[in-house]
Amino acid sequence: YPLPATDYFNSFLPSDAVALLSFKSTADLDDKLLYSLTEPYDYCQWRGVECSQDRVVRLVLKGVGLRGRFSPETLSRLDQLRVLSLEDNSLSGSIPDLSPLVNLRTLTLSRNGFSGALPPSLLSLRRLLVLDLSYNNFSGEIPSDINALTRLSSLNLEFNRFNGELPPLNQSYMTSFNVSGNKLTGKIPMTATLLRFNVSSFWPNAGLCGEIINRSCGSLSPPFFDSSKPNATSSSSASQPPQTAQNGEATLPTLPGSSVSKKSKNGWLVLGFTIGLASLVVLGLCLVVYSLVIKNRRDDEDNDVTMFQPNLKGDTTQPPTESLTARAVPASSIKPLKREEEVKIQIQAPPQKRVPRSGDLIFCGDVNEGGEGMYTLDQLMRASAELLGRGSVGTTYKAVMVNQMIVTVKRFAPSKTAVTSDLEFENHMEKVGTLRHPNLVPTKAYFQSNGERLVIYDYQPNGSLFNLIHGSRTSKAKPLHWTSCLKIAEDVAQALHYIHQSSAKFHGNLKSTNILLGHDFEACLTDHCLSVLIDSSVPPSDPDIASYKAPEIRKSANSPTSKCDVYSFGVFLFELLTGKPASRQPFMAENNMLDWVRAMRQEDKKSKEENGLEMMTQTACLCRVTSPDKRPTMREVIKMIQDIKESVVMTEENDKFQYS
Ligand SMILES: Nc1ncnc2c1ncn2[C@@H]1O[C@H](COP(=O)(O)OP(=O)(O)OP(=O)(O)O)[C@@H](O)[C@H]1O
């Protein structure tokens, strides 16, 4: 039977291209997107589309004039999608089932005409970090199951028609939140997450009350203001929205009970009541002033407790402080922000590209990713810190900010990066800051001022490959299962290949401490491309670090190349397979290396893994050859790993066949 025309085309097109075209067919009625089938096409070049290994990973169609509906079975087929932004268009109707988008990190549908309830399918997107549905017509309740999205760091639902009570949100990473401009009612739950936000995240809303917004709920009013009592406060005040100033801006709700009934029959009672109330107000004001004075003092004292003391004043003679103990931050450079100001910064963070400048945090990557506007240099400086280790470039800390956001801060040792000028550092970090790959720890921000240099990354809670292979303080080393080795090797190879294709060109410091485990235990490279910033004329004294370096750069000041990364990858493969650190790996002919690997794994020669192990050893040997020209490219290495995977699958299938 001949296929219908569309099916005919679809059967030849990559599935991602089909998904994009089917989305366009109902969502782009004015034909703003010039996606087309005419050859030669490359859907990865289409407007707003970004691919990784020919799969769409980002689709950003912000303000492109889309009009129509977001139909089911269209974009939901892009199962590798990380970022989807359809912000600021004229899309209407409900959101289709997006549950197949299991890799989605950022979903921004704000400023459209979407309606209906918050789709339950969104609650299955467990990797979601940013959810922005603001300025639409969504209605119904905000489901308490939204707590299943444990990784959410940003939730924007403002200016919709959500009603009912606000669920007790408990996402510990939440740093941006807004439900203002809805029809929510009831008491705002006092969860640690919601307590982080102030009134501007909640108002205006028809009937919200609670301590967080300083507005008592009727039934919870103190007896003096109990609305059920005669001659007390207006009983409706608790359910009224906060007062609106003449300019239309929402103001803080007044305390219930601040207006006194004029209909009192007993004038003396009213007078007494009024005097009592006035005294209370004066007392209250005194308390507020007192607490502000105390707070300011505390803020000043807080300046003394900090982890990094960046040299913002230009005192380059001062040695860097590497302890977690107290020392004063140059207060002239950092003014403590009031909570309201912090929130304003979060809300008003401009979406445009920032202007890089010295002395402030410079955020990298997409604003939607979560980072820019979510914390300030000041907050970072006040974070409590845990020393993670000292490496070749400087010292690394885990920093927990007051808003519970956790990041990793790499503080460069000034003596090591002095060879790089401020401009070179900035230009280089601009380049590195744009690198984004599922197997790279994203560089979130950087900072430099008067010789002080910091780079900020996402914190990876699952530790490094070094810990996994050799054990850590908290865990004992276990031999890694064969399939884990393959998966890790492929992840690392993919990230290296990505870097080699980018303008940064090479990683320069591949080793097991620089391979971290992500949320799903995927391997992610960190410290990428920083080695060029340091003085490489002094060879590393640590034998393991030295053994990771390719021979052509080990004892010379030659700059590294992508082939040096390939060499380090070979060393890493042996460490992964055998658990032996780089300096204890022998150099022997391939067959002997296989015997050594087998012996280190204490494996029986006839093990099921034998074939794969042999191929893996071959790959490691090939990468680790002395001559750079004879080493494979990372693309070739990926191909080798994929062949090994296939051979493992085939062996398993043969086994099944034999025993069935
Ligand atoms: N983003 C991160 N999340 C969690 N742990 C990290 C992160 N970045 C680094 N680490 C861990 O912190 C420790 C110190 O890292 P650091 O980079 O300072 O030293 P290194 O990796 O030993 O040497 P080098 O500076 O040469 O890379 C390492 O154990 C590393 O695995």
Atom 23 of ligand 1, residue of closest alpha carbon: 391
Q: With contact defined as beta carbons under 8 Å apart, do 286 and 420 qualify?
A: no
Q: Which of 387, 409, 464, 468 to mutate to test the pocket of ligand 1 (most atoms within 8 A of CB)?
A: 464
- Which pLDDT value is given to residue 226? 31
Contact 137, 113 (CB under 8 A): yes
Residue 654 alpha carbon to ligand 1 centre in Å: 42
Q: How far, in Å, CA of 87 to CA of 108, rounded?
A: 6
Q: How many CB atoms lie within 10 A of CB 276?
A: 12
Helix, strand, or coil here: 526? coil
Answer with the residue of higher pLDDT: 207 or 369. 207
ipTM: 0.97
Query: Of the candidates 172, 124, 146, 127, which has an alpha carbon nearest to the alpha carbon of residue 520?
Result: 127
Q: Output the CA torsion 545→406→129→442 (10° steps).
A: -30
- The residue nearest atom 17 of ligand 1, judged by CA position, is 391
pLDDT range class, residue 559, cuts 50, 70, 90 = confident
Residue of 322, 388, 475, 547 to test ligand 1 pocket, by largest number of atoms within 8 Å of CB? 388
Does the beta carbon of 22 lie inside 6 Å of ligand 1?
no
Between 207 and 561, residue with greater pLDDT: 561
Q: What is the mean pLDDT of residues 290-299?
A: 46
Above 90 in pLDDT, residue 524?
yes
| The pLDDT of residue 270 is above 80 | no
Please indicate whether residue 573, judged by its CB atom, sits closer than 6 Å to ligand 1.
Answer: no
Q: How far is CA 23 from the centre of its chain?
A: 27
Q: What is the pLDDT of residue 647?
A: 80
For the sheet with 452-458, list strands across it: 362-363, 443-449, 452-458, 406-412, 394-400, 384-390
Q: Which atom of ligand 1 is nearest to the CA of 395?
A: 18
Cα–Cα distance for residue pair 525/511, rounded to 1 Å: 9
Rg (alpha carbons) of the chain, rounded to whole number = 30
Of all residues in the chain, the percent with pLDDT exceeding 70 is: 71
Among protein residues, the one whose CA lies closest to atom 25 of ligand 1: 391
The verdict on the CB of residue 441 being under 6 Å from ligand 1 is yes
- Between the CA of 397 and the centroid of ligand 1 the distance, in Å, is 9
110 pLDDT more than 60: yes
Q: Ligand 1 mean position to 394 CA, how many Å?
A: 10
Ligand 1 contact, 134 CB (< 6 A): no
Q: What is the pLDDT of residue 173?
A: 80
Q: Tell me the C-alpha distance between 33 and 92, whole Å.
A: 17
Model confidence pLDDT, tens digit, residues 307-331: 444 443 333 333 333 322 222 223 2
Task: Report CA(308)–ligand 1 centroid distance (Å).
Answer: 17
Q: Which atom of ligand 1 is nearest to the CA of 527?
A: 27
Task: Quick: pLDDT tens for 191-206.
Answer: 888 988 888 888 888 7
Q: Is the CB of 531 under 6 A from ligand 1?
A: no
- Ligand 1: atom nearest CA of 390 is 18
To test the pocket of ligand 1, the residue of 440, 467, 514 to mutate (highest count of ligand atoms within 8 Å of its CB) is 514
Of ligand 1's listed atoms, the one at least distance from the Cα of 545 is: 26
Phi, psi (degrees; rounded to nearest 5) at 10: -60, -35
pLDDT tens track for 225-260 = 233 333 333 333 333 333 333 333 332 232 223 333
Which residue out of 393, 416, 513 has the highest number of ligand 1 atoms within 8 Å of its CB and is therefore the one to mutate?
513
d(CA 499, CA 304): 41
Nearest atom, ligand 1, residue 389 CA: 14
Is the CB of 518 within 6 Å of ligand 1? Answer: no
Determine the average pLDDT of the residues in 374-396.
87
Burial zone of 525 (CB within 10 Å; 0-12 exposed, 13-18 middle, 19+ buried): buried
| Residue 517 pLDDT exceeds 70 | yes
- CA dist 591 and 588 (Å) reads 8
Higher pLDDT, 575 or 332: 575
- CB of 516 closer than 6 angstroms to any ligand 1 atom: yes
Which region among 173-177, 521-525, 593-597 has the lowest average model confidence (pLDDT)?
173-177
What is the widest separation between alpha-carbon atoms in the chain?
105
Q: Is the CB of residue 408 below 6 angstroms from any atom belonging to ligand 1?
A: yes
Average pLDDT over residues 477-496: 86
User: Among the atoms of ligand 1, which is closest to the Cα of residue 441?
Assistant: 1
Burial class (CB within 10 angstroms; exposed 0-12, middle 13-18, buried 19+) of 603: middle
Amino acid at 313: K
Give the up-direction half-sphere exposure of residue 518: CA atoms within 13 A in the CB hemisphere.
18
| 526 CA → ligand 1 middle, Å | 8
Q: Which atom of ligand 1 is nearest to the CA of 393?
A: 25
Query: What's the mean per-residue pLDDT of the chain?
Result: 77
Question: What whole-number percentage of the chain has pLDDT above 90?
Answer: 45
Overall size of the chain counted in residues = 660
d(CA 84, CA 521) in angstroms, rounded, equals 23
Q: State the Cα–Cα distance between residues 23 and 356, nearest whole angstrom.
A: 37
- What is the Å distance from ligand 1's center to 513 Cα? 6
- Cβ–ligand 1 distance for 457 under 6 Å, the answer yes
| Strands 130-132 and 406-412, bridge-based pairing | unpaired
- Whether the predicted pLDDT of 3 surpasses 60: no
| Ligand 1 centre distance from Cα of residue 126 (Å) | 27
CA–CA separation, 187 vs 199, rounded Å? 13
Which backbone phi and psi does 43 adopt, to 5 degrees?
-65, -20
Q: How far is the CA of 617 from the centre of ligand 1 (A)?
A: 27
391 ligand 1 Cβ < 6 A:
yes
Of 327, 312, 372, nearest in space to 346 by CA: 372
513 CB under 6 A from ligand 1?
yes
Pairing of strands 384-390, 362-363: unpaired
**Is 562 touching ligand 1 by the criterion CB < 6 Å?**
no
| Nearest-angstrom CA–CA distance, 613 and 569 | 16
- pLDDT level of residue 288 (50, 70, 90 thresholds): low
Dist. CA 391 → ligand 1 center (Å): 7
**Distance between CA atoms of 439 and 429, rounded to whole angstroms?**
19
Q: What is the mean pLDDT of residues 387-400?
A: 90
pLDDT at 655: 61
Ligand 1 neighbour 41 (Cβ under 6 A): no
Model pTM score: 0.53
Distance CA 396, CA 455 (A): 9
Pocket of ligand 1 contains residue 459 by CB under 6 Å: yes
Regarding the beta carbon of 536 and ligand 1, being less than 6 Å apart is answered no
Instruction: Indicate if the pLDDT at residue 377 is higher than 60.
Output: yes
Token readout for 491 is 């992840």
Q: Is the CB of 393 under 6 A from ligand 1?
A: yes
Q: From atom 10 of ligand 1, which residue's Cα is the shortest distance away?
A: 388
What is the Cα–Cα distance from 17 to 38, expressed in whole angstroms? 12
C-alpha 270 to ligand 1 mean position (Å): 69
